[in-house]
Chain A
């Protein structure tokens, strides 16, 4: 059957696979999917540094590896520092870093390993201006150690150390906006991305490869195990998060904000569509959902204003 033109246009992902099956991620793991995309984008000319997180296990216990690219496992809080060191070594040895034929140095860390314990090293990496890429895959909790809350956990979410109980739920803090902290360093390129929009992610990865200096991408990666959602809904959740403006897609390039599709379209969907698919929000009452909805819309207005003023 003839492939329609609008479908042909979708084929913007490279077909080369550098991520091997047989890894031990959960069923429906969006972090594994994110790794697959990043490895597709950079082929073999990338050096990865992965701290202690789910990806440590996904990448394979000794002696197995699911990667077809060099990988350095490192301590929890050191991702930013290790990629700084690798980049310095490459420069000292005369290799080309970033750019068309250059080597990409990628730090791939979770939200806990970036927003909490890894914040110091991340800030140092961004501030010193190393040519590298830091990707924070955001599954909104410390999933590897058994679903504990991180600063990236949203208001009302159940985690094992902020559970819901007979009286109330414990997570009353809003999600920390790591992307704003990163942008405060005034780096050349920062962006948010979602696994449900792979071409957008690919475009951003290619851009990060082109633009010299430190780059940062926050990748929204639903976790069916930790969010108590059905394993087949991971991509749908990632899509809904963008469509409800819970996790809008935008880029920050050289001081200018740009909101990406589909966050540019119409009014955001009501947040309930996103929340009802996840078991972790079941302790929230109508009032609590209102609080979260208000926060989402407030952040969305702030972003739209920034895009207007600094667009």
Chain B
């Protein structure tokens, strides 16, 4: 069957809901939090209108219970989905470890939102990046289309390597902003994403299993190594699934770092998520003004694309890392990880960290231009004035 996309003008949250429906998810257990609410509202609407078969929606009483219910459902063999944001994600932290340790392919959409206090509902990446050690794969979406595609691919990748995955979108910038999304007809999704074949299931009564028993020091080490092995395998699986997605539906995701006009760039901007959309626009403007710049959008933060970063770093003289997040007492998280990856290699471009847009502060093309000027000075003088710059600081 030929791929004729179904075009709808929808928000990022609705794109996530449609993708979960198309993926034939079986159990959704979620707790409301701004700005994720419209995801589960849409899924409930599908349920009420009879548009989904075999979907059980569990309106749990907290995010911690939401992840626990998803884990129980996934262990019983069902395809599960949930969504949350900032405080909710922080509350589920214990169970995030449980999902990856029990090797359950739960897929979650996290809407990047700033952590309180002070209360904020706007875009900030610290909440999801603070969970980078939990063993979950992380995909950052730049626009509503990537949210839709990301959820579909995440199910396939997660169920292949048996590790959970989260798709991350920006609060309000993506979640509540309407854009054209090309969706895939159900039959083609079924071809791309067959029903789940679980690694184990609690419903096998002839061979009953016990999951997650006590692991003494003699055994625990190897179990954790197995998780890392799965993450390493995930790099290959992600590239293959991204390539397959491109072959089937015309949008290729085989690059874990999307490179935009970086072939002859002097320096590149590197970052995660929707702010890279602004950066790509700025790159076009700067190129027209004579700068030789490019944008490197890190799509998958876990597993970290070490080889792709090395390949990029070998050919540029500078990387301006834009972090819409911060790890207090250290520096921007993407900057810290990227620096660490390159340390033992022979690629050492000038790298500076710009902390931008925390708590949803606006980050515009003009800001990118100012950063470009700063980077140009750094590369010409071969000296970095300060490694971490809090760009927007007013007072």
- A joins B in a complex: yes
Residues of A near any B CB (own CB < 8 A) = 44-45, 47, 49, 56-57, 59-65, 67-75, 77-78, 80-86, 88-95, 103, 120-121, 123-124, 127-128
A-contact 0/1 string along B60-92, CB 8 Å cutoff: 111011101111111111101000000000000
Distance, CA A56 to CA B211, complexed state (A): 11
- Chain A residue, CB-CB nearest to B57: A88
> Inside 8 A of B213's CB, which chain A residues have their CB?
56, 59-65, 73
- The stretch that binds A, out of B36-44, B131-139, B201-209, B311-319, is B201-209
Chain A residue nearest to B54 in the complex (CB) = A92
Question: A92-B26, A93-B26 known; A72 and B65 CB under 8 Å?
Answer: no
Give chain A residues whose Cβ lies under 8 Å from the Cβ of B208.
44, 67-71
- Give me 8 other A-B pairs in contact (C-beta within 8 A), A44-B208, A49-B72 excluded: A67-B208, A72-B202, A75-B95, A88-B27, A89-B77, A89-B80, A103-B203, A124-B65
B75 near A67 (CB under 8 angstroms)? no
Tell me the complex Cα distance, A83–B77, Å.
Answer: 14
**Known: A60-B210, A71-B209. Is A93-B68 also a contact (CB below 8 A)?**
no
CA of A73 to CA of B213 in the docked complex: distance in angstroms?
6
Q: Within 8 Å of chain A (Cβ to Cβ): is B51?
A: no
Does the CB pair B215–A128 fall under 8 Å?
Answer: no
Q: Which residues of B contact A65 (CB under 8 A)?
A: 210, 213
Q: Find chain B residues with CB under 8 A from A103 CB.
A: 203
Q: Are B65 and A81 in contact (CB under 8 A)?
A: yes
Q: Does B58 contact A120, Cβ atoms closer than 8 Å?
A: no
B216 interfacial by beta-carbon distance below 8 Å:
yes
Contact A74 B205 (CB under 8 A): no
Contact of A121 among B65, B75, B77 (CB under 8 A): B65
Shortest C-beta distance, B26 to chain A (Å), equals 4
Residues of A within 8 A of B94 (CB): 75
**When the two chains form their complex, are residues B55 and A92 in contact, meaning their CB atoms are under 8 A apart?**
yes
Q: How far is the CA of A75 from the CA of B54 in the complex (A)?
A: 28
Residues of A within 8 A of B98 (CB): 74-75
Residues A73 and B54 in contact in the complex (CB < 8 Å), given A86-B72, A90-B203, A124-B60: no
Query: How far, in whole Å, are A71 and B202 apart by their CA atoms in the complex?
Result: 7
A118 to nearest B CB, angstroms? 10
Q: Which residues of B contact A80 (CB under 8 A)?
A: 65
Contacts of B71 in A (CB 8 A): 74, 78, 82, 85
In the complex, residue of chain A having the shortest beta-carbon distance to the beta carbon of B27 = A88
- Residues A84 and B58 in contact, CB atoms below 8 Å apart: yes
B216 lies within 8 A of A128 (CB):
no
**A122 CB to nearest chain B CB (Å):** 10
Interface residues of B in 180-229 (CB under 8 A from A): 202-205, 208-216, 219
Interchain nearest-CB distance for B313 vs A (Å) = 40
Taken together as a complex, chains A and B put the C-alpha atoms of A92 and B79 apart, in Å, by 10
Query: B212 — nearest CB in chain A belongs to which residue?
Result: A73
Q: How large is the interface on B (under 10, 10 to 19, 20 to 34, 35 or more residues)?
A: 35 or more
Q: How far is the CB of B101 from chain A (nearest CB, A)?
A: 10
Residues of B within 8 A of A83 (CB): 72
Contact B205 A70 (CB under 8 A): yes
Which residue on A lies nearest to B211, using beta carbons?
Answer: A72
B74 contact from A74, A89, A123, Cβ within 8 A: A89
CB-CB nearest in chain A for B94: A75
Give the nearest-CB partner of A49 in chain B. B72
Q: How far is the CA of A82 from the CA of B209 in the complex (A)?
A: 16
Contact B65 A47 (CB under 8 A): no
Find B210's partner among A59, A90, A127 (CB 8 Å cutoff).
Answer: A59
A92 touches B78 (CB 8 A): yes
B246 interfacial by beta-carbon distance below 8 Å: no
Q: How far is the CB of A17 from chain B (nearest CB, A)?
A: 14
- Cα of A95 to Cα of B204 in the assembled complex, Å: 12
Cβ–Cβ contact B55 & A85, under 8 A: no
Interface centre among B54, B64, B71, B216 (most CB of A within 10 A): B71
Q: Jot down 13 A-B pairs with beta carbons below 8 A, ordered by A.
A: A45-B205, A56-B214, A61-B213, A61-B215, A69-B208, A72-B210, A73-B212, A74-B72, A78-B71, A84-B69, A85-B80, A120-B62, A124-B62
Contact between B205 and A78, CB atoms less than 8 A apart: no
* B29 is an interface residue with CB less than 8 A from chain A: yes
In contact, A88 and B212 (Cβ under 8 angstroms): no
Q: Least Cβ distance of B225 to chain A in Å?
A: 15
Contact of A85 with B203 at beta-carbon distance under 8 Å, contacts A59-B210, A71-B208 already known: no
Residues of A within 8 A of B74 (CB): 85, 89
A72 to B29, CA, bound (A): 18
Give Cα A57 to B210, complex, Å.
12
